[in-house]
Structure 1
Amino acid sequence: MKRICFHGAESTGKSVLAEKLAAELRLPWVPEYGREYAETFGTEFTLPDLLAIAEGHEARVRQLEGQGAGLALLDTDPLMTAAWAEMLFGAVPPELLAYPKADLYLLFEADVPWIEDGTRFFGSTAERARFAAVAEDMLVRTGVPYKRIGGTWVEREAQVRQVLAELQVPMR
């Protein structure tokens, strides 16, 4: 299964756009498991919580693979959980870097307004810039292919659609 992962700092449009395009294009997708985990267990994360988030997310990806999906949109993956570990604890457990990687990462820039939603942490300009840099560093550190997605909400959607078109994903 080809994995296209939406990656980047909080409040950059990953979840909204992944869900919208998955529904519109009838593509399988894996929602952000970390959000579901935070809404269920709270946001006082420990390192074991982050490891559970990564495993929960990857279990859902494996389930899609088992159903024979050819391509899936991933709203983050364990590399984004690794960025969270770096931000919250100053270190990345090797387990978070050992998971299978996406075929392509779409790195969403932190150049749109940050919106508080009750589960977000890093809203100041400095924190947001640091989180964006850490998220990109995870991609660079692991040597995965990625493309930047930025600009207005409309521009972001157009850029993602262009990437999907280049990958020959049927546009409905």
Structure 2
Amino acid sequence: MIQVCFHGAESTGKSVLADRLRKRFGWPWVPEYGRSFCETMGLELTMDDLLEIAEGHDRAVRGAALLQPQVLVLDTDPLMTAAWAQMLFDAVPEALLAYPKADLYLLFEPDVPWVADGTRFFGTEEKRARFAAIAEDMLVRAGVPYRRIAGAWPFREAQAVAAIEEALRRAGANAPAR
């Protein structure tokens, strides 16, 4: 099993692509825990909320991993929550960096139109660029392997599938039929 985390700024297609890959290949995905948290608890986040979000997401990943799918797609993870902490509070608790890391991170560029959905914070071009830079910095800081995902929607899907298939080959697993 490989774990692939979709990472990056808001409104870049992470959740949509995770669902598309689930439908296309049958790869399960762990939805973004922070979204459901904000839908339930509201958008006035504290650092304690971010720590709770990271723990909830990690719990969900551990549960999904018990099924041992060939590919487990994570719609963000605690490392992305660390980017949120940096963006919102200009600080990153070490606890957010201590969680297990995915085998591959796909960094989604903010080069597609912003879509407000009621749970998003950073809709200006300047804030999106800053958040994207912080998200990438977290990947570099953690020393994890990542690939950039950019361009129009069909290109994003093709890039993601190619990166996942390459990771599967490196892991010695059979890549799925396209």
Question: TM > 0.5 between the two?
Answer: yes
Q: CA deviation at 1:62?
A: 0.5
Matching residue of 1:149 = 149
Q: Aligned-pair RMSD on alpha carbons?
A: 1.1
Matching residue of 2:28 = 28
Aligned-partner residue type, residue 121 of structure 1? F
Contact residue 19 and residue 31 of structure 1 kept, 8 A: no
Query: 1:110-142: per-residue Cα shift (whole Å, max 9, x none)?
Result: 111111111000011110100000000000001
TM-score, L = length of structure 1: 0.96
- Cα separation, 2, equivalents of 1:130 and 1:68: 36
Contact residue 108 and residue 148 of structure 2 kept, 8 A: yes
- Cα separation, 1, equivalents of 2:104 and 2:68: 19
Matching residue of 1:43 = 43
Which of 138, 154, 175 is 1:169 aligned to? 175
Number of matched pairs: 172
- Counterparts of 1:17-166 in structure 2 under 5 Å? 17-166=17-166
Identity %: 65
Q: CA deviation at 1:170?
A: 1.0
Q: Secondary structure at the match of 1:23?
A: helix
Contact residue 165 and residue 171 of structure 1 kept, 8 A: no
Q: CA deviation at 1:70?
A: 3.8
Query: 1:3-29: per-residue Cα shift (whole Å, max 9, x none)?
Result: 100000000000000011112211121
Aligned-partner residue type, residue 156 of structure 1? R
Query: 1:141-169: per-residue Cα shift (whole Å, max 9, x none)?
Result: 01000000001111111111211232243
Q: Which runs of 5+ in 2 are unaligned?
A: 169-173
TM-score, L = length of structure 2: 0.93
List 4+ stretches of structure 1 deviating above 6 A: none
Q: Secondary structure at the match of 2:5?
A: strand
- Cα separation, 1, equivalents of 2:177 and 2:116: 32
Q: Which runs of 5+ in 1 are unaligned?
A: none
Contact residue 27 and residue 70 of structure 2 kept, 8 A: no
- Cα separation, 2, equivalents of 1:71 and 1:77: 15
Q: Which moved further from structure 2: 151-160 or 134-143?
A: 151-160
